[in-house]
Structure 1
């Protein structure tokens, strides 16, 4: 998204930085102090609890996809509803407890009765992709616009999640 913004506005200087205090509180403080102009993250703090002068707006709202290997039971599906992987392990190694993205996955899993496994260190996307191509029993979630490269021999499939607003709890 930042790259798209930069391409659309090449006259503006864009510096991408990682905050030393890389959590929501640190980001809110950095924006309020003027150290950065904007931070991209899920804001789980109600508006009344944010620092003065700091607002939040939805910036990214792209679709999720299930990424599976060629022998996964859902590999042949053209799309799946979010509740379909409920009996399958969704592995997202390295989820950091207490982060806003961990909360997103907790809420998503609860809404669709999924099991999201965050155990294990994240040794990088290449290691995750290699594991997916070998394992018929795991999948992961990726964003539609997320870029991943893997050898053709992996046979990985990106399966769009459809009807994400209907949870199993409302059926």
Structure 2
């Protein structure tokens, strides 16, 4: 039987989350060389290679992705054991989709009004969604769609509507829709809209599948890296994406009103109407979690949900049961 080194497991998860050995070292507060040694030790214990080196950092191997869920569960159990022994719950860990996402802006609003709240933000990426972070024990509460995705949520996970993010289209100034204030959803039937994030099996990919079936819009799932692979050596990913759309007369993509975009002089925003698609961000938490910080955050979003937006919006039927009641 192999006794896994928890420090090595923690280094492995940090490299997956950060995408680079150097960034993982900063998160862990150790040297990059120490991270490399821990990964090598873990690879020796498991008898597998965990990462492939790529120009932008490190990418988990197929074996590493299979090990990842177990690694997170192991660390969560260890952290829970330490917290239980010390009788201190630690910060409330809140999982969000990303720094620019609507839920991050909503959390900034909350923290500005309760600066004493002990909260730690957990950011998602292609390998761990907000729902995964919650289910693996990496987060106490998560902003995520309550339906769809590779597997349904277990019965012990509770959900309430947190924020309905109305979608619009982003196009370049030479796109045929650039001069229009709005496009009816019915007009998108047969049109192709690029949604690179939908390439990852997830609850948001399921959302765009549902939108496609409802409206007839064709979702292009081509990952951003395949369309312009050299972008990571130029501007930051979001700026590179906007440059790509701005320079095209045919590309369009969906974007949420609550998502923070950098300004770009050649990007145009076009409303989608009759009906307007909206992405349903729910607040998810484990009903058995005793963390004392949960109640206040749940109450805040229960009271602040923008329910009025649901009347003129389209969302998948399972979400409507939660968001429009």
Structure-2-length-normalised TM-score: 0.44
* Structure 1 vs Structure 2 CA RMSD: 2.6
Richer in helix (by share): 2
1:27-73 Cα deviation digits (max 9, x unpaired) = 2342xxxx53311111227xx96243x20112120210101111111
SS at match of 1:60: strand
What does residue 132 of structure 1 align with? 245
1:57-96 Cα deviation digits (max 9, x unpaired) = 1212021010111111111111222232334321122423
- Structure 1's consecutive aligned runs of 4 or more residues displaced over 4 angstroms after TM superposition are none
1:112-139 Cα deviation digits (max 9, x unpaired) = 1101101133552112111111111110
What does residue 50 of structure 1 align with? 154
Q: How many residues align?
A: 158
What does residue 22 of structure 1 align with? 128
What does residue 102 of structure 2 align with? none
Determine if contact 1:72/1:135 at 8 Å carries over to the other structure: yes
Q: 1:81 to 1:36 in 2, by over 3 A?
A: same
Cα distance in 2 between the residues matched to 1:55 and 1:88: 37
* Higher relative contact order, chain-length normalized (CA < 8 Å, sep 6+): 1
Instruction: Give structure 2 stretches of 5+ with no counterpart.
Output: 1-105, 226-230, 232-236, 277-312, 316-325
Determine if contact 1:88/1:139 at 8 Å carries over to the other structure: no
What does residue 212 of structure 2 align with? 109
Structure-1-length-normalised TM-score: 0.78
What does residue 146 of structure 1 align with? 259
Instruction: Give structure 1 stretches of 5+ with no counterpart.
Output: none
Cα distance in 1 between the residues matched to 2:215 and 2:110: 33
Cα distance in 2 between the residues matched to 1:94 and 1:109: 15
> Are residues 1:92 and 2:195 paired?
yes
Cα distance in 2 between the residues matched to 1:91 and 1:82: 15
Determine if contact 2:172/2:268 at 8 Å carries over to the other structure: yes
The match for 2:178 among 57, 75, 83 is 75
Cα distance in 2 between the residues matched to 1:37 and 1:83: 40
Shift of residue 25 of structure 1? Answer: 4.8
